[in-house]
Amino acid sequence: MAPSCRIVLPAGSYLANFNDHLTGHLDDRRISGLSGIRVRAFFRWWSITGIRADGDELVFEVGSVSAKFPARHFNASLECPAKADS
């Protein structure tokens, strides 16, 4: 399935794909069981499986691996570029 939105995340300038349909479970300061978001790192695409708050940082989980970024990098809402009409 082709991504519906491709953006560059502000923290680390990682390319990310978002599908039209995102799923996950919301708990206090955490999204688990996340699907529908992939990020490009180390020459391949990885599915982000969870996001949690840890003080002033956001922790992005890819299975058992995680990466922390300052939450302030995500204060502004990111918007998908408009799709060109075909």
CA dihedral for 20, 71, 10, 78, sign (positive or negative): positive
Token pair for 4 = 């519906």
Q: Record the pTM.
A: 0.80
3-state secondary structure the chain: CCCCEEEECCCCCCEEEEEEEEEEEEECCEEEEEEEEEEEECCEEEECCEEEEECCEEEEEECCEEEEEEHHHHCCCCCCCCCCCC
pLDDT of res. 77: 80
pLDDT of res. 2: 60
The arithmetic mean of pLDDT across residues 46-61, rounded, is 95
Decide if pLDDT at 12 tops 80.
no
The arithmetic mean of pLDDT across residues 48-59, rounded, is 95
Cα 38 to Cα 11, 14, 35, 56, 84: the distances in Å are: 15, 10, 8, 23, 22
